Chains A and B, each alone.
Chain A
Amino acid sequence: MGVTASHAAKRIAHVGIASMFEFIRKNRLFFIAGIGLLAALLVYTLNLPRVEKANLVERAAGNIMAPVQAEASRAAAFPLRIWNEYLSLVGVARENQLLKDDIRTMNERLALLEETRQENQRLTALLNLKDKAVEKTVSARVIGEDVTPWFKTITINCGFDDGVQDGMPVLAAGGIVGRTIKVSAGSSKVMLLTDNASGISAIIQRSRARGVVKGKGEDLCSLEFAMRGEDVQVGDQVVSSGLGGVFAKGHLIGEVTMVKKGEFGVFQTVTIRPSVNISRLEEVLVVLHKSVE
């Protein structure tokens, strides 16, 4: 009796397994597609904890593409340079006059600033504070832009061969550009301050109100966590606070273009326009030593 029952159970199991294999065989395309999708999803999720570091595939692609991109970018800029420097000279005389006026104003301001700088030096010496360390920088050329309109990254022609590492500040003449990510031998990506994953600790220069400048994915940023009671006005300059360990204190981030205080809520909504024209970047500076306070 016991032997018969065991035999029947084995047979049922055998039939079950056989029918399962038959089911898989009939629907093998769906199973292969499902496994493929799962594998693709796994690649994505397993890479999430280290999104800012370049892996072997990304480094290889960067090393292969960087020289081609550099040459293509140089070639593509040539007709534009011809147009800008030779053909598009309408209104240059008027612009020249305006610039001369600007220079005069700037010189006056410069004189005032020099006075302030000297005063600051005297007071710093008086207080026996350390000077900011001189930051070592390397200049880099923009050789590529992000292929998607949603993310805001650029590729520069400097990598760890030039001393660049992940998380180093990137600056331009106007102020902060972003920080390096996914560094390979001869090229690096720069996560721009307008990327939605970017966050920079900042202060309003005039009122010293604090917040975090986050990218909005377009060519604008927002000042998050600025308390409702803080004094923030349109036109205020926003500078890095030095907190966070990437950017030194005092680098210009941008200008406040909109302030909105709702009836309720703890924070106010502040929109910032970056001081650097992100869409027209050609050369940048990578600060090789992180900020020293």
Chain B
Amino acid sequence: MNNYIKFTTLIILAVVLQTSILPHYIIAAYKPDLLLVIMVYLALRTPANHTVFSAYLLGLLKDVLGGIYLGLNGFSFVLFCLLLKAVSDRLYVQSSILYVLTVGAATAITTIINLLLLIIFSQGENLITAAATLLLPHLLMNMFIASIVTAMPRYFAPLDSK
């Protein structure tokens, strides 16, 4: 229960930071995706039973707070989380470099999945140019945030599997 409260508080803090505080100081292209950073952390470091559902909820939350398409990031987060879970048993998940690289990969892959879904089901053609321009700074920013997360002492602490 304690973990759930901590996790919910962390999510609320991330949302407030991302939507209401950082925009005052950071331009749109360098906006980090804190929910994605948290999702990758969960996918790499927590047991499988709750991770996929948590990833879906994080994706839905991102949809509620950004854009107009509910379920878009929900789908891409779940897909990426499943892919990561499929290979995470064979990875040294405590490696900080792996985490930073995975966050970079997650940024690129979820963006591509979102673009594909928008092109197939909606009007995503206009977004291709924007995504091509903004993807690199966005990806670098997310990796930078991930590297800060790995610098926190808590990152290397053993996780409670309950």
Taking Cβ atoms with an 8 Å cutoff, the residues of A that contact B are: 33, 36-37, 40-41, 43-48, 51-52, 55, 57-58, 61-62, 65, 68-70, 72-73, 75-77, 80, 143-151, 153, 155, 181-182, 189, 191, 196-197, 214-219, 279
Contact between chains at A57 and B123 (CB < 8 Å): no
Contact between chains at B16 and A215 (CB < 8 Å): no
Residues on the A chain within 8 Å of B62, using CB: 147-148
Contact between chains at A153 and B61 (CB < 8 Å): no
Contact between chains at A76 and B24 (CB < 8 Å): yes
Known: A76-B25, A145-B31, A196-B130. 5 other contacts (CB 8 A): A40-B78, A48-B121, A73-B24, A146-B66, A217-B127
Nearest-neighbour CB distance to chain A for B139, whole angstroms, equals: 11
Contact between chains at B68 and A144 (CB < 8 Å): no
For B124, give the chain A residue with the smallest CB separation: A196
Q: A37-B75, A215-B126 in contact; A147/B66 too (CB < 8 A)?
A: yes
Q: Which of B19, B74, B123 contacts A155 (CB 8 A)?
A: B19
For window 42-66 of B, CB contacts with A under 8 Å fall at 52, 56, 59-62, 64-66
Taking Cβ atoms with an 8 Å cutoff, the residues of B that contact A are: 12, 15-21, 23-25, 27-29, 31, 33, 35, 52, 56, 59-62, 64-72, 74-75, 78-79, 82, 111, 114, 117, 121-124, 126-127, 129-131, 133-134, 138
Nearest-neighbour CB distance to chain B for A279, whole angstroms, equals: 6
For B70, give the chain A residue with the smallest CB separation: A47
Counting residue pairs across A and B whose Cβ atoms lie within 8 Å, the total is: 158
- Complex Cα spacing A196 to B124, Å: 8
Q: Which of B19, B24, B27 contacts A69 (CB 8 A)?
A: B19
- Complex Cα spacing A208 to B12, Å: 49
Contact between chains at B16 and A151 (CB < 8 Å): no
Choose among A37, A61, A143, A150 the residue with the greatest number of B CB atoms under 10 Å from its CB.
A150
Choose among B15, B65, B111, B117 the residue with the greatest number of A CB atoms under 10 Å from its CB.
B65
